[in-house]
Structure 1
Amino acid sequence: MGEREELVGSLDRRRMLLLRTVRDLTDEQAARRTTVSELTLGGLIKHCAFVEARWARFVTGGAEAMRGGDEDWAGQFRMADGETLAGLLDGYRRVALETDGMLRDLPDLDLSHPLPPAPWFEPGARWSARQVVLHLIAETAQHAGHADIIRESLDGAKSMG
């Protein structure tokens, strides 16, 4: 197995853990806050889809391609009226398939672009496609951990148990 397949496989395993955490939930459960945090299980799925799609656009088009509508940052972490867990899961799975396809078709994982200006990025820094995938693996794993805590608080279920 080559590097590209290992990276895509690692990202997919993190996604699987996140998706496993929301198995057998109702929309009401997915939208419920179970800790002092604003995070909800449905909101985490929504956020991970949004962030992954945004970084995939960066890989192919740079920082300019990351710009989208005036996204409500806090709203990414909540299920809005009319949203369903099934709909959010379908959206996340579509984003994952698109990201995986883009990464498989990308000519070179060393392709890089300057990062957008942000206080958490060093001025003038660039990220390669490889660095973006590593970032998505870390971000998805972090949010899978958040989801596990929320789910355990909700009904005692655990991702790995």
Structure 2
Amino acid sequence: MTVNQLTTDESAETPVVTGERADLLETLAKHREFLRFTTRGLTDEQAGLRTTKSELCLGGLIKHVTAVERSWVDFILEGPSAMPDFTAMTEEDFARWAEGFRMLPGETLAGVLDAYAEEARRTEKVVAGLPDLNASRPLPKAPWFQAETEWSARRVLLHILAETSQHAGHADIIRESLDGAKTMG
């Protein structure tokens, strides 16, 4: 089976994973939990508050990490066409992208967390079913990527893990600024 033939049939059971895949997924799950933990006991309003000079809020960070994970898993499955061409984005496109960092009217923390959990399940199924973590794809066009560079599925998973970890740290600062609660300590 090639990466192109892989499906994400939601009714299919996730195969048992071992070795490197298990290590990657277990580490990603741990860092997802650090991020989720920063929202414990919060109201929807609190999850949408900015507590620093940054535009970031806890609910928005989780929305962003969910969207990033979704787009990179789509990249593993479909290649660069699954990602936006950042070199061609308009101001309106960037404004919509920025909304992914905020809790919008009508959004709830529970809904944001549910979407994140669903994306985690999808990622785990895709990783479990990949024929080869070395399968590579050319990166999409973006000013921050070197032209004609490819990333393997493994590299993409490491990127998702790094993104999740980085934003879990941001979330810890935001939560501590909100009410003094800490993820650790």
Range into which the TM-score falls when normalised by the shorter chain = over 0.9
TM-score by length of 2: 0.84
Which residue pairs with 2:7 in the alignment? none
In the comparison of the two structures, how many residue pairs are matched? 161
Q: Deviations over 1:74-124 (max 9, x none)?
A: 111100000000000000000000001100111100111000111111110
**Rg (Cα) greater in structure:** 2
Residue 172 (structure 2) pairs with residue 155 (structure 1): no
Look up the equivalent residue of 2:128 and give its one-letter code.
Answer: R
Residue identity opposite 1:142 in structure 2: Q
Q: Secondary structure at the match of 1:113?
A: strand
State the partner residue of 2:34: 17
The partner residue of 2:155 within 131, 155, 158 is 131
Whether 2:114 is the aligned partner of 1:90: answer yes
Instruction: State the AA in 1 paired with 2:151.
Output: W
Q: Distance in 2 between matches of 1:108 and 1:8?
A: 15
Query: Which residue number corresponds to residue 121 of structure 1?
Result: 145
Which residue of 1 is the match for residue 69 of structure 2?
52
Instruction: Structure 1: give runs of 5+ residues left out of the alignment.
Output: none
Aligned partner letter, 1:61: E
- SS of match in other structure, 1:109: coil
Deviation at 1:66? 2.3
CA distance in 1, matches of 2:98, 2:84: 17
- The answer on 1:36 being equivalent to 2:53 is yes
Gaps of 5+ in 2: 1-17, 86-92
The question of whether the paired residues in 1 share the 8 Å contact of 2:84 and 2:140 is answered with no
C-alpha deviation, 1:67, in angstroms = 4.0
> Structure 2 residue aligned with 1:143, among 142, 161, 167?
167
| Identical counterparts, % of pairs | 57
